[in-house]
Structure 1
Amino acid sequence: MSASVLYDAQGPRAKRRNILYSVVFVLAFAALAWWVYRGLDDKGQLDWAKWKPLLAGSESWTTYILPGLKNTLIAAALSMVIALPLGAFFGIARLSDHTWVRVPAAVVVEFFRAIPVLILMIFGNALFAQYTDVGSDDRPLYAVVTGLVLYNASVLAEIVRAGILALPKGQTEAAQAIGLRKTQVMTSILLPQAVTAMLPAIVSQLVVIVKDTALGGAILTFPELLASVSPMSSYYGANTIASFTVVAVVYVVLNFSLTSFAGWLERRLRRGKKSTGAVLAPAAVAGAESAGTAA
């Protein structure tokens, strides 16, 4: 019997058992799919009349879906632009050697990371209503962005801190050995490498930001993408399944585009950081060391 690196090769009985399990799973899945199909068909949710306004007309898109998508993108973009640098700031602050910097940053991060984002949105809405002059039409957007920024900045701070701590300590020690200050080590050595390593986790959190905008529509009447389902379904004759399906596809396309762009950016960054293979002359190395010592 041949062996694999990860596990022993399956014997005849194990192969037959796995085939049986696969057949049973396929049959169960097919039965479930048929049951769902029959239930939707019996209730008329698969009739072309309910899908036609979404698939064969533009009125539903220009009136409901695209305006909702626009608001979702605005809220998500504002939250990303504010949360990313804020999270980087608090993540680096938690690594500070100064207690008066490290402890307050840790308190802020742990506090907002422990509170559900929905509560932060409700709190933001009440805050803007009582203590600011923000109008009722703009207040849901401000509240959604506030909640998303406070929560996701704290999560991104932990991602930044973990990414920097994951780098080998030898790089910091080598940089300090040639005379670089801690600020120079962080900006020139650690952060450029950590950004590439943290990119998948950062993008995952950005996808969460896009999806969490739907909480504002459910609680604060923010007219985002998911909130367009209810009026659209009512106007076109209770086509709830069709409306939810189309909106779900839009979310999938949006988040897939974001992750695809992040994957392309990560590959580009990794290619840009590959060594050229050039060999430096001893004089060049000596000049670099002297320059670092002078700094």
Structure 2
Amino acid sequence: MSTVSVLFDAPGPRARVRNRIISGVTIVIAALVVWAVVAKLSSKGQLTEAKWQPFLTANLWKTYVLPGIEGTLTAAALSIVLALVLGFLLGVGRLSQVGFIRWPSAVIVEFFRSVPVLIMMIFAYFLFALYDVFPSKYLALAGVVTGLTLYNGAVIAEIVRAGVNSLPRGQGEAASALGLRSGQTMRAILLPQAITSMLPVLVSQLVVVLKDTAIGYQITFVEMVRQGTVVGSSYGNYVPALIVIAVLMISVNFALSVAATKLEKRLRRSKRAPAPMHADAALEPGD
């Protein structure tokens, strides 16, 4: 049984040879670029053993790196939890059949999706400082969490709305025939099924939350990237410092993705679920 691609024509023998040649040339060019960059950095002394030596000392990790990791993970964890709660509330609100719930939810979602995260962080930071909402040592954390929660909560609301709308219409009709109210249908039938299909897109958004904590350096928040630049400034090893921070960020993001993938597989084994959503479907403008 032959497989037919609906996205593009299958390449013939000549096209396959041409594609291999182009791929080989691209790999060679990329390797040359990497070699040139490494050679340039080596000539500047950024990759010498002495530049990496500070990372073998406990003092550097205790003073700079570990506080940055703690700040990033704390802000990300709080923002993820709050954004998920806000996103599900707004997403369900946008799906409500009651107008005074649906329209305010839609306005809130569209507003916070349109405002840059950094603007919300700065605004929240100075607003909290003006009215002494939080102690001074928590002002930066509160500003970062507020900005990330509002923006990502709005995005997650659209993911929830798209996930529920992607379910077969018969699900809601069957629930209505059984006499379930709209709230019961949403809570007991639609959301449990939609969550599994939304999971890949939600994971992508949660990774964005983790990475966007780096924006908090603008309001003096202590996080991994900021601490990496501080290490580079203190020890004169900017390139090794940023490489180490990049490896740590990649490791945390990879761990989050792996955990979510295992959760998704477990959910799919436990029940028959709809196909995963694509990210584009979650961001389609709604009514």
Q: TM-score, normalised by structure 1?
A: 0.87
Return the alpha-carbon distance in structure 2 between the equivalents of residues 19 and 201 of structure 1. Answer: 33
Aligned to 1:10: 12
Give the 3 Å change call, closer, same or farther, for CA 115–30 of structure 1 in structure 2. same
Post-superposition offset of 1:4: 5.5
CA distance in 2, matches of 1:123, 1:102: 27
Q: Counterpart in 2 of 1:269?
A: 267
Which residue in the other structure is 1:139 paired with? 139
Task: Flag structure 1 segments of 5+ consecutive residues without an equivalent.
Answer: 276-295
Distance 1:213 1:89 in 2: 23
The one-character-per-residue Cα deviations of 1:221-256 (angstroms, maximum 9, x if unpaired) are: 1011111112212222x1000000000000000010
Paired with 2:87 and 2:10, the residues of 1 have a C-alpha distance of 46
Q: What stretches of structure 1 move > 3 A for 4+ residues in a row?
A: none
* Cα displacement (A) at 1:175: 1.2
Deviations along 1:196-217, one digit per CA (max 9) or x if unpaired, are 0111111111111111111011
Matching residue of 2:37: 36
CA apart distance, 1:163 = 0.4
Distance in structure 2 (CA, Å) of the matches to 1:274 and 1:96:
26
Cα 1:28–1:224 change in 2 (3 A) is same
Q: What does 1:1-295 align with in structure 2 at a 5 Å threshold?
A: 5-6=4-5, 7-11=9-13, 13-54=14-55, 56-217=56-217, 219-236=218-235, 238-274=236-272
Closer/same/farther in 2, CA of residues 23 and 270 from structure 1, 3 Å limit: closer
1:53 Cα shift? Answer: 1.6
Q: Supply the distance in 2 between the matched residues of 1:116 and 1:38 (Cα, whole angstroms).
A: 38
Shift of 1:33: 1.3
1:136, distance to aligned residue in structure 2 (A): 2.7
Of 93-102 and 23-32, deviating more is: 23-32
Greater shift in the superposed pair: 200-209 or 245-254: 200-209
The answer as to whether partners of 2:75 and 2:141 remain within 8 angstroms in 1 is: yes
1:8–1:105 distance in 2 versus 1, CA, 3 Å: closer
The 2-side partners of 1:118 and 1:228 are apart by 19
Q: CA deviation at 1:188?
A: 1.0
Query: Per the alignment, in what secondary structure is the counterpart of residue 97 of structure 1?
Result: coil
Task: Return the offset for 1:268.
Answer: 0.7
What is the alpha-carbon distance in structure 1 between the residues aligned to residue 133 and residue 270 of structure 2? 48
- The 1-side partners of 2:206 and 2:145 are apart by 13
Distance change (3 Å), C-alpha of 1:65 and 1:152 = same
Q: Contact 2:129–2:139 at 8 Å: present in 1 too?
A: yes
Across the aligned residues of Structure 1 and Structure 2, the Cα RMSD in angstroms comes to 1.5
Structure 1 residue 182, shift from structure 2 partner:
1.2
**CA shift at 1:161, angstroms?**
0.6
Do 2:229 and 2:242's aligned partners in 1 also have CA atoms closer than 8 Å?
no
Aligned-pair distance for 1:9? 4.8
What stretches of structure 2 of length at least 5 have no aligned partner? 274-287
- Alpha-carbon distance in structure 2 between the residues aligned to 1:246 and 1:181: 54
1:91 to partner: Cα distance? 0.4
2:47 is paired with a residue whose SS is coil
Secondary structure of the 1:201 match is helix
Larger radius of gyration: 1
Cα shift at 1:38: 1.1
Query: Which stretch of the first structure deviates more once superposed, 252-261 or 16-25?
Result: 16-25
Q: Is the 8 A contact 2:199 2:264 kept in 1?
A: yes
Q: For each residue in 1:114-158, what CA deviation from the matched residue of structure 2 results, as whole angstroms up to 9, or x when unmatched?
A: 000000001001101112243332111111111111111111111
Q: Distance in 1 between matches of 2:16 and 2:182?
A: 58
Once residues 269 and 240 of structure 1 are traced to their aligned partners in structure 2, the CA distance between those partners, rounded to angstroms, is 43
Q: Quick one: distance in 2 between partners of 1:51 and 1:253?
A: 19
What CA distance in whole angstroms lies between the structure 2 residues aligned with 1:273 and 1:123? 44
Distance in 2 (CA, whole Å) between partners of 1:165 and 1:15 is 41
CA distance 1:229–1:173, shift in 2 (3 Å): same
The one-letter code matched in structure 2 to 1:34 is W
